[in-house]
């Protein structure tokens, strides 16, 4: 599958109207349910605080969220992105931890224990409510990486370096089935505004 084809498929899933009825195995389901089945496997992960969580039930359902991938020993983009997200969280204020959540998933779960992720959080001043750094069984983390689209369209390139798409941010409003993505290299103010494009209708500016 080419990289463009993957992007086109993901874009079609998050397009306006994704909340409308769709067919799944011959049955009519909501767009929200279709997205859940296709992209959000309910695998068990562990937070940097040592708590076991279910990916869909505990982290995704009924929330606005931002997802990125990283790993603790990264000396390239990961610390830069983490620093940028610290700025974004400040701009979003007290809503982070209430109805907006940040999730940073390691792409090296075999190396990144909860303790190691917690050390990373402390080192980069990313602690606080509403932001969880996540690890888990390698096969479960790899499944999430594939489902969420943090991959290269060339399988050989992807296998060689699973961190190539660490600069991408996924964000969405799960109940409204509204999803999109942006590059983490953008200004923090622009990223915060992008996240709020999928805000609850009663909170949007007129």
State pLDDT tens for residues 107-143: 999 999 999 999 999 999 999 999 999 999 999 999 9
Under the banding of pLDDT at 50, 70 and 90, the label for residue 164 is low
Tell me the CATH number of domain 3-9+43-200, given options 3.30.70.1150, 3.40.50.1110, 3.40.50.1240, 3.40.30.10: 3.40.30.10
Region 157-165: mean pLDDT is 70
User: Which is more confidently placed, 59 or 8?
Assistant: 59
The angle that helices 31-39 and 3-14 make with each other, rounded to 10 degrees, is 150
Region 161-184: mean pLDDT is 87
- Beta bridge mates, 100: 64, 96
Q: Which of 89, 86, 113 is nearest to 101 (CA)?
A: 89
């Amino acid at each position: 599958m080419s990289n463009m084809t993957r992007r086109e498929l993901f874009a079609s899933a998050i397009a306006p109207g994704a909340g409308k009825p769709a067919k799944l195995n011959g049955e009519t389901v909501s767009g929200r349910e279709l997205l859940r089945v296709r992209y959000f496997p309910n695998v068990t992960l562990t937070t940097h605080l040592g708590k076991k969580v279910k990916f869909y039930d505990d982290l995704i359902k009924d929330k606005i969220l931002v997802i990125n991938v990283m790993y603790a020993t990264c000396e390239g983009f990961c610390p830069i992105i983490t620093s940028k997200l610290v700025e974004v969280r400040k701009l979003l204020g007290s809503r982070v931890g209430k109805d907006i959540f940040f999730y940073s998933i390691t792409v090296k779960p075999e190396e990144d224990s909860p303790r190691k992720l917690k050390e990373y959080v402390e080192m980069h001043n990313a602690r606080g409510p509403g932001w969880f750094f996540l690890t888990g069984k390698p096969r479960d983390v790899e499944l999430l990486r594939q489902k969420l689209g943090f991959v290269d369209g060339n399988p050989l390139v992807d296998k060689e370096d699973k961190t190539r798409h660490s600069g991408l941010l996924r964000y969405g409003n799960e109940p409204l089935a509204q999803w999109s993505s942006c590059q983490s290299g953008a200004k923090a103010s622009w990223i915060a505004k992008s996240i709020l494009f999928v805000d609850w209708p009663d909170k949007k500016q007129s």
